[in-house]
Amino acid sequence: MAETGAQVERVLDRVLPKPQPGEPPLAEAIRYASLGGGKRLRPFLVVSSARLFGVAESCALRVGAAVEMIHCYSLVHDDLPAMDNDDLRRGKPTTHKAYDEATAILAGDALLTQAFEVLADSETHADPKVRIALVTALARASGSAGMVGGQALDMQAEQTPLTEIGAITRLQRLKTGALFEFSCEAGAILGKVEDSRRGALQAYAHDMGLAFQIADDLLDVRGRAEDIGKTPGKDQAAGKATFVSILGLERAESQARMLADQACRHLDVFGDRAEALRAVARFVVERKA
């Protein structure tokens, strides 16, 4: 993951706008929000799934950079006063604290739109049909049928807390799961694979994404700000129903492990070649940050 993280960092550094003297601090804020931080988990999923199909690493890294740009934009907007109102992200002041709200909104907007420019570029794949499929899949995963829709449900749940595990699962599947699903499917799209192997990756992403979210809820309860790089205890303070508040700590933990095991079993069809993806499923439930 660290190696992929460093490679994605180089792609981001190359494609993102450079600050120019006399210009507004937009480029600076874009780079502040997306360089030098984060686990780069989504790019690692893209690269690992693409390796299953022998896709050129340079193509996978560009797709990894695009999904990371969407992820970074979502974090910047999620941290705004109108949403989660947070001061700390990735161990440093949130973008609107380091700059101002208007600049943070614009930096998020710019990352969102430029992600699609990266996918649409012929450097990402020689076949325009593959590029269109990537653009379509990432747009669906990020928009109202995916991450943005999940965020809207999350805002609504602040007023009317959810009480059923099914409703929380749906919210999280959209809010965080959709980008994970895109990241895993991207390898199959790049490799032009339309068969059951694509379904296996979808099933893996679904279970791994839920395991990730339960672990995230556990970290919100047990984590320390210096480890997780954000403010812990926010869910409870906001009265939000989470997997942990409904299942309790122990059941949530065992559910996360069960989902991670199940995620690994979906990869049987790939044999040993999917070891990196299995390691991700184990990592997401064991992580401390």
Closest separation between CB of residue 77 and ligand GRG, Å?
Answer: 4
Whole-number minimum distance, CB 180 to ligand GRG, in Å? 9
To ligand GRG, the closest distance from the beta carbon of 245 in angstroms equals 15
Angle, vertex CA 144, rays to CA 82 and CA 32, nearest 5: 50
Piece in contact with ligand GRG (CB under 6 A), picked from 94-102, 143-151, 187-195, 270-278: 143-151
Name the 3-class secondary structure at 67. helix
Query: What is the radius of gyration, based on Cα positions, of the chain?
Result: 18
- Residue pair 40/1 in contact by the 8 Å Cβ criterion: yes
The contact mask relative to ligand GRG for 78-107 (x = CB under 6 A, - = no) is x----x------x-----------------
Give the orientation angle of helix 275-286 with respect to helix 196-222, to 10 degrees: 20
Tell me how many degrees the CA angle 170-111-149 measures, rounded to the nearest 5. 20
Binding part of the chain for ligand GRG, among 38-46, 94-102, 127-135, 274-282 by CB under 6 A, reads 38-46
What is the smallest separation between the CB atom of 8 and ligand GRG, expressed in angstroms? 11
Collapsing DSSP to helix, strand or coil, 192 comes out as: coil
Of 196-255, binders to ligand GRG (CB under 6 A) are 216
4 counts as binding ligand GRG under rule CB under 6 A: no
Query: Which H or E run includes 203?
Result: helix 196-222
Site size toward ligand GRG (CB under 6 A) is: 16
- Alpha-carbon torsion, ordered 206, 108, 215, 196, to 10 deg: 10
Is 173 a binding residue for ligand GRG by CB under 6 A? The answer is no
DSSP bridge partners of 93:
88
Q: Does 38 bind ligand GRG (CB under 6 A)?
A: yes
Which of the ranges 69-77, 99-107, 201-209, 263-271 carries the binding residues for ligand GRG, by CB under 6 A? 69-77
Q: How far apart are CA 9 and CA 31, in angstroms?
A: 10
Q: Give the nearest distance from C-beta 196 to ligand GRG in angstroms.
A: 28
Cβ-closest position to ligand GRG: 38
> CB under 6 A: which stretch of 55-63, 75-83, 125-133, 189-197 binds ligand GRG?
75-83
Q: What is the distance between the alpha carbons of residues 104 and 73, in angstroms, rounded to a whole number?
A: 9
Residue 185 vs 216, nearer CB to ligand GRG: 216
Please list, in sequence order, all residues whose beta carbon lies within 8 angstroms of the beta carbon of residue 109, skipping any fewer than 6 positions away: 73
Distance separating alpha carbons of residues 104 and 173, to the nearest angstrom: 26
CB of 216 to ligand GRG, least distance (A): 5
> What is the Cα–Cα distance from 161 to 164, expressed in whole angstroms?
10
List residues near ligand GRG by CB under 6 A.
38-39, 41, 71, 74-75, 77-78, 83, 90, 147-148, 151, 175-176, 216
